[in-house]
Amino acid sequence: MQVHDMPALAGLRVDGARLWNSLMELARIGATEKGGVCRLALTQLDKQGRDLFIAWAKDIGCTVRVDAIGNIFARRAGTRDDLRPVMTGSHIDTQPTGGKFDGNYGVLAGLEVLHTLNDNNVRTAAPLEVAVWTNEEGSRFVPVMMGSGVFAGAFTLDHALAQKDREGVSVRDALAAIGYAGEGVVAHDVGAYFEAHIEQGPVLEANDKVIGVVQAALGQRWYDVTIEGMEAHAGPTPMELRRDALLVAADLIREVNRIALAHAPHGRGTVGWVDVHPNSRNVIPGRVKLTVDLRAADDATLLAMDRALREACEQAGLPVKVDEVVYFAPQPFEASLVASVRESAHALGLTSMDIVSGAGHDAVYLARVAPAAMIFVPCKDGISHNEIEDARADHLEAGCNVLLQAMLRAANASEGEAA
Amino acid sequence: MQVHDMPALAGLRVDGARLWNSLMELARIGATEKGGVCRLALTQLDKQGRDLFIAWAKDIGCTVRVDAIGNIFARRAGTRDDLRPVMTGSHIDTQPTGGKFDGNYGVLAGLEVLHTLNDNNVRTAAPLEVAVWTNEEGSRFVPVMMGSGVFAGAFTLDHALAQKDREGVSVRDALAAIGYAGEGVVAHDVGAYFEAHIEQGPVLEANDKVIGVVQAALGQRWYDVTIEGMEAHAGPTPMELRRDALLVAADLIREVNRIALAHAPHGRGTVGWVDVHPNSRNVIPGRVKLTVDLRAADDATLLAMDRALREACEQAGLPVKVDEVVYFAPQPFEASLVASVRESAHALGLTSMDIVSGAGHDAVYLARVAPAAMIFVPCKDGISHNEIEDARADHLEAGCNVLLQAMLRAANASEGEAA
């Protein structure tokens, strides 16, 4: 069967049981007692996971290449290898108390797509690739999304290789220790990039939809805020003579929420971390530090939120210091690929909805250098980065079928376009 | 000179320089580099301070008795030893980073009063006593105000003796180790009790007054509050699907402030301690614990504040657990003694104002078993429990003169009243 025979290709379906079994088998490496996975980047457990992926990729006839930051690319030849590859992928490193699905699903869904094409003797025009990106989680080494970040030129290879974990081990040495220090980085152009992922949020479940058609990744601005008041005894200090830093902090926490609500539907604002000094029951807090995390789907909104936050801090009644510590630009996904995901879901008879990605993903960096899109499936109660992270086998299968169809469309569409 | 010669007695003045020098000499025991004092209860340094007090008391002809909880009573005989003693005192233990004046001033002002009477050959009808109460601060052993608490029957001697510090040393053993385990407790009635103390707050300074006429000690209700939300990722979780425990905490912090302001002038409300879980920059807080400290001058007000707090917690929008952990009843001081303090200040030409004590003092327990009153003098910037605690020599002298006059009036007034 060739890519041209679209009606026949539209009938192709992945093997949901095989996908599920591969997820469960990979989850054994670093399995935790509570049913989660602890497989930190570039550890011996990560090596075992990578080895398993490569063994599976070779079993289904792929060629495998590892680049200098340890990204793995399993390639299935097309009929026209002059075309740029249609790529999918994600990561297999986890949080210390991570789950079975975050990242792993995107990688193994990619392998399942290739497997399905083999089973049905389908050849695509463009080559297909499944990528395993190094250190997406950032639990052991920062920055997060390291492999895709280097691939997309967000930071340099040398910068990434020089980063060290808490024991002082560098990325360079950790890659060498597990035998995953390859050669070259970036190098190859990508015709289209898809990433299937559990939503890691509650939206699909709340709306009873199976497929999330991801339109964009939210931009992020993170801040460190310090409020200076005057430490004093709670007993002898009347209300009118206080300079209570926590009271101002409370108002800012509420204000961050107001700012987010004022920028619906995609504005988000969170205070997640608070440090109170001296943090004693009968002492009026003299200093409070807190973090602010603002997110929005476009830069104009994010900037308006930034201004509202700074204005609130200026009018807080006590001296407030605001330091911006992180900025990620909002990243829209490629309209034609997003439409293809939506149409694939529709053609498969699956319920779907447009959604944004509030979190970072390798696809966000890939979108800087290639047309990219993401496919979300629900996870139980929206919980991720947790050992109790869970997802339904039928949802994972459905997302994988959407990935299959979207990749086939892209591999067909790209036929006329030489690399 | 006898107590009856009131016009002559009204001209008596303490020796401010001698008082100041005694404060500075006692402050050398446990002196810190930053100019403060660290003399924890029942340590070897506390023993040195006690030994010095007793030496000074004997120098001026006092008899000295130590009771079973280590309280020291230096007694100056009256012309009629059948009368109940007029007592003053405070404590000489300090916070780990304490100052030179908290407690020490009340004890040494008492000795200075006796010294002044000796210098002027004044004999009083009732005996006078200066008490050094054990472990007022509660830094090493809890409960706080231990010596005066046992004296007033707030808790039993056995309970106090059984308490242990962080190293497992009991009060009983610590008293024995420094040779201050005396015999008997309470036993003697008190005709009147006065305590001179630095304000430990900013009210006198803000109002430019030298003498605080303390009408009452605020009652206190302390609470542990726990707010249960849902921990979730800040990125993928839209505002409308959140259960943010910190947002509810922020509203409660503001509400505690509102409750206090609604119960002016003496209502006080403080959140001093906050614990956020998991306290991570990009995670919506799933659980927040905080403390609430409510104070008021009368029980009806304190109860109204308690009800307002509980109502706010019930209407908070997330489950909130409220545990009351401490209750101290409001403690009015004896009207006639308070008036005597006010009149003494006036007669001395000192500026004064009525004030409440927001903090606990030994006098608060004494007021349960004897007529009692307090005299406050300003401390710099209202700062106490700090090595930079400071007070002016002329203010300390002024407060000591008020103490002298008030004690003389009481020792005269009590003449007709046998013990």
Q: Read off the pLDDT of residues B129-158 as tens digits, 9 standing for 90 and up.
A: 999 999 999 989 999 999 999 999 999 999
Q: Is the pLDDT of residue B419 over 60?
A: no
Q: How far is B119 from chain A (nearest CA, A)?
A: 36
Known binding-site residues of B for Zn(2+) equal 91, 102, 137, 197, 385
Q: How far is A383 from chain B (nearest CA, A)?
A: 7
Partner residues linked to A354 by β-bridges: A213
What per-residue confidence (pLDDT) applies to A187?
59
Is the preceding peptide bond at A319 cis, omega within 30 degrees of 0?
no
Q: Is the pLDDT of residue B84 over 90?
A: yes
Q: What is the C-alpha to C-alpha distance for residues A195 and A172, in angstroms, rounded to an integer?
A: 27
**Nearest partner of B131 among B196, B80, B187, B75, judged by Cα:** B75
What per-residue confidence (pLDDT) applies to A186?
66
What per-residue confidence (pLDDT) applies to B415?
46
Q: What is the C-alpha to C-alpha distance for residues A4 and A370, in angstroms, rounded to an integer?
A: 24
Q: What angle do CA A308, A296, B227 make, to 5 degrees?
A: 75
Average pLDDT estimate for B385-414: 93
What per-residue confidence (pLDDT) applies to B8?
84
What per-residue confidence (pLDDT) applies to A185?
73
A102 is in an annotated binding site: yes
Q: Is the pLDDT of residue A1 over 80?
A: no
Q: What is the C-alpha to C-alpha distance for residues B238 and A261, in angstroms, rounded to an integer?
A: 10
Q: What is the C-alpha to C-alpha distance for residues A148 and A163, in angstroms, rounded to an integer?
A: 15
Average pLDDT over chain B reads 95
Q: Is the pLDDT of residue A204 over 70?
A: yes
Determine the distance from the C-alpha atom of residue B160 to the mean position of all C-alpha atoms in its chain, rounded to a whole number.
18
Pick the last residue of a domain from B299, B328, B357.
Answer: B328
Nearest Cβ partner of B234 from A237, A250, A272?
Answer: A272
Is the preceding peptide bond at A330 cis, omega within 30 degrees of 0?
no
CB contact under 8 Å between B247 and A257, yes or no, is: yes
CB contact under 8 Å between B281 and A293, yes or no, is: yes
With beta carbons under 8 A apart, name residues in chain A contacting B274. Answer: 246, 274, 276, 279
Q: Are residues B336 and B308 in the same domain?
A: no
CATH number at A336 reads 3.40.630.10
With beta carbons under 8 A apart, name residues in chain A contacting B360. Answer: 235
Pick the last residue of a domain from A268, A299, A328.
Answer: A328
Q: Does residue A305 sit within a domain?
A: yes
Please report the ipTM that was assigned to this predicted complex. 0.89
Buried b (16+ CB within 10 A) or exposed e, B336-351: ebbebbbbbbeebebe
Average pLDDT estimate for B171-176: 98
Q: Could you list the residue range(s) of the whole structural domain that residue B66 is in?
A: 6-216+331-416
User: Quick one: tokens of A293?
Assistant: 């995390």
Q: Are residues A317 and A383 in the same domain?
A: no
Q: What is the C-alpha to C-alpha distance for residues B24 and B108, in angstroms, rounded to an integer?
A: 11
Q: How many CA atoms lie within 13 A of B304 on its CB side?
A: 15
Nearest Cβ partner of B233 from A200, A251, A285?
Answer: A200
Q: Does residue B1 sit within a domain?
A: no
Q: Does residue B236 sit within a domain?
A: yes
Q: Are residues A96 and A212 in the same domain?
A: yes
Where residue B196 falls among pLDDT bands split at 50, 70, 90? Answer: very high
What per-residue confidence (pLDDT) applies to A8?
84
Average pLDDT estimate for A19-26: 98
**Nearest partner of A29 among A42, A44, A14, A17, judged by Cα:** A44
Q: How many CA atoms lie within 13 A of A146 on its CB side?
A: 30
What per-residue confidence (pLDDT) applies to A153?
94
Radius of gyration of chain A (CA): 23
Length of chain A counted residue by residue: 419
Q: Is the pLDDT of residue A415 over 50?
A: no
Partner residues linked to A88 by β-bridges: A130, A194
What does the pLDDT look like over B45-59, one tens digit per residue?
999 999 999 999 999
What does the pLDDT look like over B225-263, one tens digit per residue?
999 999 998 999 999 999 999 999 999 999 999 999 999
With beta carbons under 8 A apart, name residues in chain A contacting B271. Answer: 246, 285
Q: Does residue A1 sit within a domain?
A: no
Q: Is the pLDDT of residue B76 over 80?
A: yes
Longest CA span, chain B: 85
What per-residue confidence (pLDDT) applies to A73?
97
What per-residue confidence (pLDDT) applies to B413?
73
Q: Is the pLDDT of residue B218 over 60?
A: yes
Q: Are residues B117 and B33 in the same domain?
A: yes
What per-residue confidence (pLDDT) applies to A417?
42
Residues 6+ apart with CB under 8 A from B400: B14, B16, B19, B109, B112, B113, B196
Q: What is the C-alpha to C-alpha distance for residues B324 and A399, in angstroms, rounded to an integer?
A: 51
Where residue A3 falls among pLDDT bands split at 50, 70, 90? Answer: low
Q: Are residues B125 and B234 in the same domain?
A: no
CA dihedral B30, B32, B38, B44 (to 10 degrees): -30
List the end-to-end C-alpha distance of chain B, in Å, as a whole number.
Answer: 23
Q: Does residue A136 sit within a domain?
A: yes
Q: Does residue A45 sit within a domain?
A: yes
Q: How many CA atoms lie within 13 A of B196 on its CB side?
A: 33
Q: Is the pLDDT of residue A296 over 80?
A: yes
Share of chain A above pLDDT 90, in %: 90
Q: Does residue B64 sit within a domain?
A: yes
Q: Are residues B83 and B145 in the same domain?
A: yes
Average pLDDT estimate for A44-73: 98
Q: What is the C-alpha to C-alpha distance for residues B354 and A392, in angstroms, rounded to an integer?
A: 70
Alpha helices in A178-298 (DSSP H): 203-207, 245-261
* Residue of chain A with shortest Cα separation from B242: A202
A159 is in an annotated binding site: no
Q: Are residues A197 and A260 in the same domain?
A: no
Q: Are residues A175 and A321 in the same domain?
A: no
Q: Are residues B155 and B206 in the same domain?
A: yes
CATH number at B318 reads 3.30.70.360
Pick the last residue of a domain from B313, B328, B343.
Answer: B328
Q: Is the pLDDT of residue B100 over 60?
A: yes
Q: How far is B189 from chain A (nearest CA, A)?
A: 30
What's the one-letter identity of residue B230?
M
Q: Are residues A73 and A169 in the same domain?
A: yes
Q: Are residues A257 and A404 in the same domain?
A: no
Average pLDDT estimate for B323-348: 97
The total number of structural domains that make up chain A:
2
User: Quick one: tokens of A414?
Assistant: 């790209």
Q: Is the pLDDT of residue B185 over 80?
A: no
Q: Is the pLDDT of residue B7 over 90?
A: no
User: Is the CB of residue B384 less than 8 Å away from at least one CB of chain A?
Assistant: yes
With beta carbons under 8 A apart, name residues in chain A contacting B225. Answer: none
With beta carbons under 8 A apart, name residues in chain A contacting B247. Answer: 253-254, 257
Q: What is the C-alpha to C-alpha distance for residues B104 and A4, in angstroms, rounded to an integer?
A: 95
Range of weakest confidence among B3-7, B34-38, B186-190, B353-357: B3-7
Average pLDDT estimate for A330-347: 98
Buried b (16+ CB within 10 A) or exposed e, A232-270: bbbbbbbbebbbbbbbbbbbbbbbbbebbeebeebbbbb
**Nearest partner of A419 among A36, A133, A127, judged by Cα:** A127
Average pLDDT over chain A reads 95
Q: Does residue B296 sit within a domain?
A: yes
What per-residue confidence (pLDDT) applies to A419?
37
Of B282 and A160, which is predicted with more confidence?
A160
Q: What is the C-alpha to C-alpha distance for residues A302 and A297, in angstroms, rounded to an integer?
A: 8
Q: Are residues A322 and A274 in the same domain?
A: yes
Q: How far is A202 from chain B (nearest CA, A)?
A: 6
